[in-house]
Amino acid sequence: MDTTLQDPLVGQVLDSRYRVDARIAVGGMATVYRALDTRLDRVLALKVMHPTLAADGSFVERFIREAKSVARLAHPNVVQVFDQGTDGSYVYLAMEYIAGCTLRDVLRDRGALQPRAALDILEPVLAALGAAHRAGFVHRDMKPENVLIGDDGRVKVADFGLVRSVDTVTSTTGAVLGTVSYLAPEQIEHGTADPRVDVYACGVVLYEMLTGGKPHAGDSPAQVLYKHIHEDVPPPSATVPGLPYALDELVAAATARTPDIRPQDAVALLALVREARAGLSDAQLDAVPPQAISAEHDSAQDRTSVIPRSLTVPRLLPVNPVDDHAGVDGAGVDRTSRLEAPPAPPRRLSRPRRGLVTVIAAVLVVFGIGAGVWYINSGQFTRVPPLLAKTEAQAKERLEQDGLDVKRVEREYNDTVKRGTVIRTDPKAGARIRSNDSVTLTISLGPEIVRVPDLTGRPLDKAQDLLKKNALEPGMVTREFSDSVDKGTVIRTEPGAGTKRHAGSAIALVVSKGSPVDVPDVTGEDLDSARSDLQDAGLQVKIAPQRVNSEYDKGQVALQTPKGDSEAAEGDTVTLTLSKGPEMIEVPDVVGDSVDDAKRTLQDAGFEVDVDRGLLGLFGDTVKKQSVDGGATAPKGSTITITIR
C-alpha cells in the first residue's frame, strides 16, 4: 500500500507555489517529497523539516544554512537548491529532483562493485566535495545514502544539512552529529571536523563499494565508535582476495586514524584516486568481485543522528574493583583511567573431528535415531539472495542457481521501482530458508497511470469523491468567478480532464463563486442606507464590533471590506466599520510665523494647510491670521487656512 496517501502534506500546496505530489523518503530530521513548482511548471524535490524540529532554532538554522551553503556551490555533482522558505509550521528546501537511486540502493542490491564502477562513483563525489572544501565548507555526513545516481548515470552529492564553514568548526561538548559507520576518530573523540573528516568517510565508502560491507561492525553504536578510534580500517583485499594493492593503499590513506596522515581535502584525495586508476589494468578494473557479503540490511547505524558524547567517549573503569573507594571522588564519580573495550566476541565451538562424528552417528543408530537426518540437516539451509530491482528472468535464474524455486509471482503497481523488476520477496532477502524451498516474487507493474475525470459542473464534495474512486487525491481548492458554472461546482481541474497521471497524484480543483456582483461603495452613508444598498446587490452585511475615528460623522460607515467598486460573489458578506466621528485635536498657534514654518507646524500636528495670500500678501511671508484660532480644537486631517500679509 502506498503510505504517501496518509501523509498530510501530499496533495497540498506549500507557500502557494509547490504542489506536493508524493513522498520519496523519510529521514530522522526531514521528509523528502516529489513536488511541482506551479510557477515554473517543473518537477523538484521538497525537503520538509519535521514539524517537531521546526520549533528548535538550531535545527532551523542548520536547515537554512544548508540552503545558503549549497546555493554557493555551482557544481554539476552537487544537488542544486532552488529555494528555501516556511509555510506555517513547515520549513522547507526546494531542490533539484534526481530520478534514480542512491548508492545505498546499489550496494543493497549488488553487494561489492567492480573496481571500475567504484572509482566511477567515487570520482564525481570527490569532485563535489572538493568544490565544497575549496569554498570553505565541510559536509560532515558523507555516506552511500547521500550519493544519488540518476537514471542518466549522473552522480550527485546530496544532504548538506550538517554542512559547516571550515573557519567556524570548533569542538562540541554535548553531542556529535553524523552517522556512526562513517565518523572519523577526531569527530568521535573531540567533536571537531575539517575537510579530512569527509576524506575519512569517503575512504569508508570506497571500502564498502569494494567489499560490499562496512569495515567496522558491532552489536551497538558504542562498539563501532570504539573500533573507529582504536582499529585501522582493514585492507579491502583481506575480504575480496585479488584486489590490487593500489586500492588497499588508497583506502589506507583516506582512513588513516591520524588526520595529519590523510589527504588534506577531497581535491587531494581525488588526485590520488586518479593516480591509482592510471596504474590499474583493464582486467584489474573490471574484475568481478565475489558476492559473499550481502548488503541487504536496514541498520540504524546508517542513519544521520545526534550521538551523545557518552557514547563517543570510552567509559572509565576502576583500576582495582575490589576497593570500593579507590579512584572515586566526593560525588561518587569514578575518576580512574582504564578504558573499557567492547566485550570479546563469543568463542566459536570447535567442529567435532571426523572420528567423533562417526562415533556419535553409530550411537544414534543403536538407539534407533536417524543419524542421516542429524548429519545432513546442517546443509539443508540457505539464505534468500538479494533480488531487489532485478528483472523477473534474472531473479528466477538467481533463485535456480541457489537451488530455490519460485512459488508464485505477484504483481503490483509501484511509483519508484522500474516496471518488470522485483519490488520484494517473501521470505525477504537474507532470510534463512530450506535449500529446496520456494520464494514468492513481487514484480513491479510500474506506476499506475489513470486519467483525470471530467468534473465540470459537479458539486465540490461529489467531485472529490469521484477523484478518490479514480485512484486520485483531491488537492488544493481555489475559487473564481464564473458566469456559466453554478456557484459551488467545479469549473475545471489542474491538470485538466483526460490528462494521464500516476495513481495517488493530487488534482487541484477550481470551484465557481458564481457570477460576480459589483460591491457598492457605502462609506459615508448611515447604517440603514448602507445595509439596504448592499442587500439590494445580493450581499450579506456584518457590522464590525469596534468603531474608528474618521472624517465621517458618528454612526456613518467609515470602512468596508471588501471595498466599494470591487467584485464579490452573490451572497458574500461585506463587513462595515462604523465611525466614532473625527478625532479632535488642538490647533497650534502659527500667527507671526513664516509661511514655511507655519505649514510645517500644522502638518506635523495632523492638519492639511491652505495658504491665502490675497492681493496684499503676494510679497509677504508672515502669517497674519489662521482660520481656526490657536489653542482651539479641530478634526484631525481637516484643513486650516492661513492668511499672509
Positions annotated as catalytic residues are 141
Cell representation of residue 548: 474608528
The torsion of the CA quartet 397, 399, 401, 405, rounded to 10 degrees, works out to -100
Find residue 640's DSSP bridge partners.
609
Q: How far apart are CA 138 and CA 130, in angstroms?
A: 10
Q: Which long-range contacts (CB under 8 A, 24 or more apart) does 292-295 make?
A: 292/111, 292/212, 293/111, 293/112, 293/211, 293/212, 293/213, 293/239, 294/111, 294/212, 294/383, 294/385, 294/386, 294/429, 294/430, 295/107, 295/108, 295/109, 295/110, 295/111, 295/212, 295/213, 295/386
Residue with cell 463587513: 575
Length of the chain: 645
Q: Is the peptide bond before 290 cis (omega within 30 degrees of 0)?
A: no
Strand-pair partners of 407: none
Q: Residue 406 and residue 433: Cα distance in Å, rounded? A: 13
Q: At 149, is the secondary structure helix, strand, or coil?
A: strand
Task: List the alpha helices (DSSP H) in 214-324.
Answer: 221-230, 245-254, 266-278, 282-285, 309-312
Q: Find where cell 540490511 sits.
A: 297
Residue type, 542: K
Cis peptide preceding 495, ω within 30 of 0:
yes
d(Cα 451, Cα 454) in Å, to the nearest integer? 9
User: For the chain, what is the radius of gyration of the CA atoms?
Assistant: 37
